[in-house]
Amino acid sequence: MRVLVAMSGGVDSSVAAALCVDAGHEVVGATLKLWGGPSDSGCCSVADVDDARRVAQQLGVAHHVFNFADEFKDDVVGPYVAEHARGRTPNPCIECNRHIKFDRLLERAHRLGFDRLATGHHAQVRAVRRDGRDRFELRRGADASKDQSYVLSMLGQAQLERVVFPVGHLTKAHVRAEARRLGLRTAAKPDSQDVCFVHGGAGRGGFLGERLELHPASIVDGETGEALGTVDAVELVTVGQRRGIVAAGARRYAVDVDVPSRRVTVATAERAAVDEVELDPRGVTWVDAPLRDGDDAFAQMSAHGKPARCTVHFDEVTDTRDVTTPGDDAAVNHTPQRRLRVRFVAPQRPVAPGQTLAWYAASDRDLVVGAGIVAAPGRRLGDGALR
């Protein structure tokens, strides 16, 4: 098969390429140029491109650099900034996977005659036969501590059919051992941690501060309404965060970020916990068959978060005043809206609007079922309710 391997310059994609060569495929490596800004020290910097190119040379395969910088700016960075301006916390790596890696790059691979796109992600695709048809499962990587299925949870059949994850069934230790055995330059290279366009030094605050006007806000206790202090930049506060919330007494967590009102609402851990979150029904993707109203599943709300048992509810709502429609300030709709609620069995830490919630099967918590984006701060039900 002809396989295009997306090579970031890291050890995982290096070994992924090596494994494809070993398997006898016709391999070409490609590194994406996504960002050339001043914070060019994260993933896919010039140094990373050089590393990827060198590994390709060592493996005897051709290597190209694809410039997707414009698309990255439009599809990932622009929305990242815009969402923060609204007090939401998107996951740019997920949006990059959604729009760039498994959309534009996947299409390019197809146009160039490749049968598969391979990446170094720790996840697994498994072909199964179901109801007489070939279907594709997306499963967690074998190394639980490195599992990346969460950031791939938006993929569907059309993508999974053409994607391979050659290192997904290996532990990280095994991957590094293999890289050392092959003498690859990247064998000992540390994993990249940060968002690729955010520099370790200035951080997210520095990055956003250059692109957004940041505003101070008051910190308000969600229970008593008492003013507890201020934050320098409301746009940088993430629901669920505790750091930076300076207030006397017990530790408090941000439970709501209201940019227009310049207000961060906080609560103690006990009071901040949520029983359910609401997702934007328009942004939901399914790996294969969708969950139905009343189905159980596991919900994971961060890259390595502990999955939580939940039940999914699809409500038909005709009274639009009940519907939180993210992206619009006023839902002026006269058509019935669907509302998508995820009710947790046990109270969870609050989840920031804009974050991805990935579902795993109730009967098989390594199997990804689908994903959605959290629309509004979650809520506590019953007498725990704050509002």
Partner 1 sequence: MTHPTPRDEPPLTYLDHAASTPVRPEVRAAMAPCATEIFGHASGSHRQARAARTALEDAREQLAALLGAEPREVVFTSGGTESDNLAVFGVLGAARRARGKEGGPTIAISSAVEHSAVLEPCRVAAQRLEDVEHRAIGVDASGAIDLDELAAMLRAEGAKVALVSVMLANNEVGTVQPLADVAELVGRLAPHAALHTDAVQAAPWLDLAAAASGADLVSISAHKLGGPKGAGALVVRGDRRLDAIVVGGGQERERRAGTHDVAGAVGLATALAASAACRDEEAVRVGALRDRLADGICSTVPDVLETAGRKGVLPGHCHLCFTGVDREELVVLLDASGVCVSGGAACASGALEPSHVLAAMGVAREAARGAIRFSLGHTTTAADVDRALAVVPEAVGRLRA
Which residues contact partner 1 by CB under 8 A? Answer: 21, 26, 28, 31, 33, 36, 45-46, 49, 53, 57-60, 62, 64-67, 69, 108, 111-113, 182-184
CB of 17 to partner 1, least distance (A): 12
Out of 20, 44, 93, 196, the active site residue is: 196
- Count CB atoms within 10 A of the CB of residue 28: 20
Which is closer to partner 1, CB of 56 or CB of 257?
56
8-state DSSP, 236: G
**Could you confirm whether 93 is annotated as catalytic?**
no
CA angle 320, 356, 205 (to 5 degrees): 105
Q: Cα separation of 205 and 39, whole Å?
A: 13
CB of 64 to partner 1, least distance (A): 6
Do residues 292 and 140 lie in contact, with contact meaning Cβ atoms separated by under 8 Å?
A: no
Which is closer to partner 1, CB of 104 or CB of 172?
104
* Upper half-sphere CA count for residue 295 (Cβ side, 13 Å): 17
Which is closer to partner 1, CB of 54 or CB of 135?
54
Which is closer to partner 1, CB of 49 or CB of 155?
49
- The token duo for 271 is 């009071």
- Give 299's contacts (C-beta < 8 A, 6+ positions apart): 307, 308, 309, 310, 342, 344, 357, 358, 359, 360
Q: Which residue has the tokens 């070994």?
A: 15
- The token duo for 373 is 């984006």
Would you call 288 exposed, middle or buried from its count of C-beta atoms within 10 A (0-12, 13-18, 19+)? middle
Give the CA radius of gyration of the chain: 22
Do residues 151 and 97 lie in contact, with contact meaning Cβ atoms separated by under 8 Å?
A: yes
Which is closer to partner 1, CB of 71 or CB of 296?
71
Nearest to 7 by CA among 47, 72, 65, 60: 65
- The token duo for 295 is 């189905």
CB of 95 to partner 1, least distance (A): 21
Nearest to 124 by CA among 92, 147, 103, 145: 147
CB of 7 to partner 1, least distance (A): 12
Out of 43, 44, 93, 96, the active site residue is: 96
CB of 66 to partner 1, least distance (A): 6
Which is closer to partner 1, CB of 13 or CB of 124?
13
- Count CB atoms within 10 A of the CB of residue 366: 18
CB of 71 to partner 1, least distance (A): 11
Active-site annotation, residues: 96, 196
